[in-house]
């Protein structure tokens, strides 16, 4: 009896049918997103944005159908690599897109370049993918981590009296690059980073870290993502710090993926990102309204990134007249895209494959009973190098835990 049961299970495993064959003539796009695990919610936002654009164009471009295959990365680079092999070798996709975590981005890069498969990264922001280790076959349709932070630092210098800022952020590359970008421009302009506190990714209680924050700073710069962003904002207020030290932050600290779950503790936090759900242009308002009706929640930067990413891809395919089989041409077209009326503002792409775009300084306000990232300043045409000379910029090391050094700590 048992043997039979085991045998049935084994046969069932082996007999898993081959996946449906892609129909000929269609343009096949493979997308990677974390659909399970701690990042599943963000993965959902990414897929929602992508699907929304595809539905708007009836999944059709230049007379060819578009077939989207979404694969789950679990937020694990090895799994992401497996799934890309599946998408490229088995599904024969013409283009690869998606990905969330920096580690996934770095893991896929050599594979993508070796396979010579055109790819776009709508969300992965790790600086070096378009800087010191630029990928030939990847076009970034999203952003580089330090890109919003350089102009943000100048904005803070010009529009506030904050000169001594304490930084607190998550202890990984995304945190280092956010704080590092801010620190560089801020200190060049006469400001001082007086403290850097790194919190582990699995922090459950911020009290010990909040207790360390120097009380003689003028403001605090915070970088958190997801659950930690929610918790940090709450504890920052209950610890009494919010009344004494205003809070600045990287964009994800108040991203719309967490903002609806926040309360009054978020009011007044000023952050910078290339997106805000409160951008006041007709094209964005239409997007935000449609998205909310479709998905039942407000768009986050992840949803917008993937929506615009798909539009970017489709524009490139249109420019080619649908001939996606020529990979060199497709890559060239992706690198030439110029979207004047994109949802988040005008977009062009620089030589290393990173967008030049608006950076928005946003302040959390309550409008009509809901929290939103009100845009209080728009800094146009910001590239990943901001005001710096690209060659000189690339000679500097990557922002890390210890770079730039904390000279005023």
Partner 1 sequence: MRSPVVAAALVVAALALVAPVLPSYPLTLLTQVLIVAVLAMSLDVLLGYTGLPSLGHAAYFGIAAYAVGILATERAAGFATCLLAGLVLATATAAVFGVLAIRAVGTYFLMITLALGMVVWGLAFRWVSMTKGDNGISGVPRPELPWPGSLWSPLPFFYFALVAALVAWLLLGVLVRSPFGMTLKGIRESESRMRALGYNVWLHKYLAFVISGLFAGFAGVLWAYYNGFVSPVDVQLVTSVETLLMVALGGPGTLAGPALGAAAIVFLKNFVSVYTKRWLLILGAVYIGVILFAPRGVFGAFTRGHR
| H or E element, residue 119 | strand 119-121
d(CA 319, CA 335): 12
* The pair of three-digit structure tokens given for residue 104, joined into one six-digit string: 């996934």
145 near partner 1, judged by CB under 8 A: no
Among 117, 126, 139, 258, binds partner 1 (CB under 8 A): 126
Residue appearing with tokens 């790790």: 126
199 near partner 1, judged by CB under 8 A: no
Nearest C-alpha neighbor of 248 from the set 384, 161, 363: 363
Helix, strand, or coil (residue 60): strand
Among 55, 65, 78, 244, binds partner 1 (CB under 8 A): 78
User: Based on CB atoms, which residue is closest to partner 1, 14 or 207?
Assistant: 14
* The pair of three-digit structure tokens given for residue 337, joined into one six-digit string: 């895209």
Apex 82 CA angle, 80 and 84, nearest 5:
70
Residue appearing with tokens 């967490």: 258
Among 48, 50, 97, 109, binds partner 1 (CB under 8 A): 109
Q: Which of residues 48-67 bind partner 1 (CB under 8 A)?
A: none
First to last CA, the chain: 70
DSSP string for residues in 161-214: ---EEEEEEESSHHHHHHHHHHHHHHHHTT-EEEEEEEE-TT----HHHHHHS-
User: Based on CB atoms, which residue is closest to partner 1, 171 or 218?
Assistant: 171
**Shortest approach of partner 1 to residue 242 CB, angstroms?**
29
**Shortest approach of partner 1 to residue 324 CB, angstroms?**
20
Which span sits near partner 1 by CB under 8 A: 80-88, 205-213, 237-245, 269-277?
A: 80-88
253 near partner 1, judged by CB under 8 A: no
List b or e across 315-345, with b for residues whose CB sees 16 or more CB atoms inside 10 angstroms.
bbbebbeeebeeeebbbebbeebebeebbbb
Q: Which of residues 387-406 bind partner 1 (CB under 8 A)?
A: 400-401
* Beta pairing class for 64-72 and 27-33: parallel
User: Based on CB atoms, which residue is closest to partner 1, 113 or 188?
Assistant: 113
110 near partner 1, judged by CB under 8 A: yes
**Shortest approach of partner 1 to residue 47 CB, angstroms?**
10
DSSP string for residues in 224-257: --THHHHHHHHHHHHTT-TTTS-EEEEGGGG-TT
Among 153, 156, 173, 339, binds partner 1 (CB under 8 A): 173
User: Based on CB atoms, which residue is closest to partner 1, 79 or 384?
Assistant: 79
User: Based on CB atoms, which residue is closest to partner 1, 90 or 261?
Assistant: 90
User: Based on CB atoms, which residue is closest to partner 1, 113 or 350?
Assistant: 113
331 near partner 1, judged by CB under 8 A: no
Q: Which of residues 20-39 bind partner 1 (CB under 8 A)?
A: 35-36
3-state helix, strand, coil in the chain (%, to 5): 40, 20, 40
* Beta pairing class for 138-140 and 192-199: unpaired
Among 107, 194, 331, 343, binds partner 1 (CB under 8 A): 107
Which span sits near partner 1 by CB under 8 A: 53-61, 86-94, 300-308, 337-345?
A: 86-94
User: Based on CB atoms, which residue is closest to partner 1, 23 or 58?
Assistant: 23
Give 279-282 contacts, CB < 8 A, sequence gap 24+: 279/343, 279/344, 279/345, 279/360, 279/375, 280/375, 281/345
Which span sits near partner 1 by CB under 8 A: 158-166, 167-175, 346-354, 375-383?
A: 167-175
Which residues, listed in sequence order, are joined to residue 375 by a DSSP beta bridge?
A: 362
Among 59, 64, 86, 318, binds partner 1 (CB under 8 A): 86
* Beta pairing class for 370-382 and 355-367: antiparallel
**Shortest approach of partner 1 to residue 129 CB, angstroms?**
10
Which span sits near partner 1 by CB under 8 A: 77-85, 141-149, 259-267, 344-352?
A: 77-85
Yes or no: say if 147 and 352 are a contact pair by the CB < 8 Å rule.
no
User: Based on CB atoms, which residue is closest to partner 1, 71 or 265?
Assistant: 71
| H or E element, residue 374 | strand 370-382
Q: What residues line the site for partner 1 (CB under 8 A)?
A: 2-3, 5-6, 9-10, 13, 16, 19, 35-36, 71-72, 76-79, 81-83, 85-86, 89-90, 102-103, 106-107, 109-111, 114, 126, 171-173, 400-401
């Amino acid at each position: 009896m048992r043997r039979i049961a085991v045998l049935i299970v084994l046969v069932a495993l082996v007999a898993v049918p081959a996946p449906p064959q892609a129909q000929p003539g269609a343009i096949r796009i493979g997308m990677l997103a974390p659909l399970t695990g701690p990042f599943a919610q963000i993965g959902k936002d990414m897929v929602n944005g992508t699907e929304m654009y595809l539905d708007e164009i009836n999944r059709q471009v230049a007379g060819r159908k578009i077939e989207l295959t979404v694969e789950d990365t679990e937020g694990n680079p090895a799994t992401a690599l497996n799934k890309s092999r599946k998408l490229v070798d088995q599904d024969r996709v013409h283009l690869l897109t998606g990905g969330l975590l920096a580690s996934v981005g770095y893991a896929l890069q050599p594979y993508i370049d070796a396979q010579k498969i055109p790819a776009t990264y709508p969300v992965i922001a790790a600086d070096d993918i378009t800087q010191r280790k630029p990928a030939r076959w990847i076009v970034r349709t999203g952003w580089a981590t330090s890109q919003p932070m350089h102009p943000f630092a100048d904005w803070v210098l010009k529009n506030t009296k904050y000169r001594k800022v304490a930084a607190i952020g998550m202890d990984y590359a995304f945190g280092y690059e956010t704080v590092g970008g801010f620190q560089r421009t801020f200190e060049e302009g006469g400001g001082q980073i007086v403290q850097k506190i790194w919190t582990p990714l699995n922090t459950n209680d911020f009290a010990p870290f909040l207790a360390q924050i120097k009380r003689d700073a003028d403001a605090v710069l915070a970088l958190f993502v997801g659950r930690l962003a929610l918790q940090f904002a709450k504890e920052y207020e209950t610890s009494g710090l919010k009344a004494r030290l205003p809070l600045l932050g990287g964009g994800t600290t108040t991203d719309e993926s967490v903002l609806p779950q926040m309360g009054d503790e978020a009011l007044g936090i000023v952050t910078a990102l290339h997106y805000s759900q409160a951008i006041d242009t007709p094209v964005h308002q239409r997007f935000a309204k449609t998205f909310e009706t479709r998905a039942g929640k407000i768009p986050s930067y992840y949803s917008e990134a993937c929506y615009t990413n798909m539009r970017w891809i489709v524009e490139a395919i249109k420019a080619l007249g649908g001939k996606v089989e020529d990979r060199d041409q497709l890559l060239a077209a992706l690198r030439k895209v110029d979207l004047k009326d994109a949802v988040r503002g005008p977009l062009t792409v620089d030589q290393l494959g990173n967008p030049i775009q608006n950076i928005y300084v946003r302040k959390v306000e309550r409008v009509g009973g809901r929290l939103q990232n009100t845009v209080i300043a728009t800094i146009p045409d910001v590239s990943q190098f901001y005001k710096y000379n690209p060659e000189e910029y690339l000679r500097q090391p990557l922002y890390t835990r210890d770079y730039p050094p904390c000279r005023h700590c």
